[in-house]
Amino acid sequence: MSNDELLRRHDATGRDRCAGAAAGLAAAPSLHTAVVTCMDCRIDEQALFGLEPGDVHVLRNAGGVVTDDVVRSLVISQRKLGTREVLLVQHTGCGMATFTDDEFTEELAQETGLVPSWRPQAFADAATNVRRGITRLSSDPFLLKDIDIRGFVLDIEAFTLTEVTPA
Ligand SMILES: [Zn+2]
């Protein structure tokens, strides 16, 4: 099982590497920013942005979508742990562009007899979805005002970033 493999790697090297890297670090991110991106396994945000432990908060989900739960985490990140910026990164070739909400919801309903209470939040165009995410973050009543929010589309082959202008 792959979980066993992960635990083996933890015992072999992971525990010591992390304990060394995090020694003396505060829980509040030293760069005062939070990165929101997709769970896509090809994205290594540590390498992409030259991150070290202690630098930033990283929030990942399917698509890098600004969901209720991402907002929840960002409100805590800002109000309890001092972050003042958000970097939103979605990407080309995202799996979330391979189906629609209706298709996936119907697929789940056919297989289980249940309709999920949540929406999958699939999207066809990453830039459009980044723009919507920025709009949502900019208008949320619980997030701090005057924070710097920037959004990008990551090319998943060249790993270049294209900035998305807000709506
Ligand atoms: Zn993705």
Measured between alpha carbons, how far is 77 from 137 in angstroms, rounded to an integer?
13
Q: b vs e for 77-110, b when ≥16 Cβ sit within 10 Å of the residue's Cβ?
A: bbeeeebebbbbbbbeebebbeeeeeebbeeeee
Question: What's the token pair of residue 142?
Answer: 């619980």
The distance between the two most distant Cα atoms of the chain, rounded to a whole number of Å, is 51
Encode pLDDT of 63-101 as tens digits. 999 999 999 999 999 999 999 999 999 999 999 999 999
Q: Which of 22, 23, 84 shows the shortest CA–CA distance to 53?
A: 22
What's the average model confidence in pLDDT over 11-39?
Answer: 96
Nearest to 34 by CA among 126, 128, 149, 127: 149
pLDDT at residue 28, rounded to an integer: 98
DSSP state of 146: T
Query: What is the distance in A from the centroid of ligand 1 to the CA of 161?
Result: 14
pLDDT of residue 40: 98
Cα dist from 112 to 107, 115, 116, whole Å: 9, 8, 10
The Å distance, Cα 119 to ligand 1 centre, comes to 16
CB atoms within 10 A of CB 63: 24
Per-residue pLDDT tens digits for 103-143: 999 999 999 999 999 999 999 999 999 999 999 999 999 99
Given a cut of 90, whether residue 167 has pLDDT beyond it is: no
Residue whose structure tokens are 């994205």: 43
When the candidates are 3.30.70.20, 3.40.50.720, 3.40.1050.10, 1.10.10.410, the CATH number that belongs to 29-164 is 3.40.1050.10
The larger pLDDT score, comparing residue 146 to residue 143, is at: 143
Please choose, from the candidates 93, 75, 92, the residue with its C-alpha nearest in 3D space to the C-alpha of residue 84. 75
Helical (H) or strand (E) element with 65: none
pLDDT of amino acid 166: 85
**38 CA from centroid of ligand 1 (Å):** 5
Average pLDDT, the chain: 97
- Ligand 1 center to 37 CA (angstroms): 8
CA of 43 relative to ligand 1 center, distance in Å:
9
Token duo for residue 97? 């562009």
Place of tokens 């910026």: 85
E strands, 1-103, in order: 33-38, 57-61, 85-91
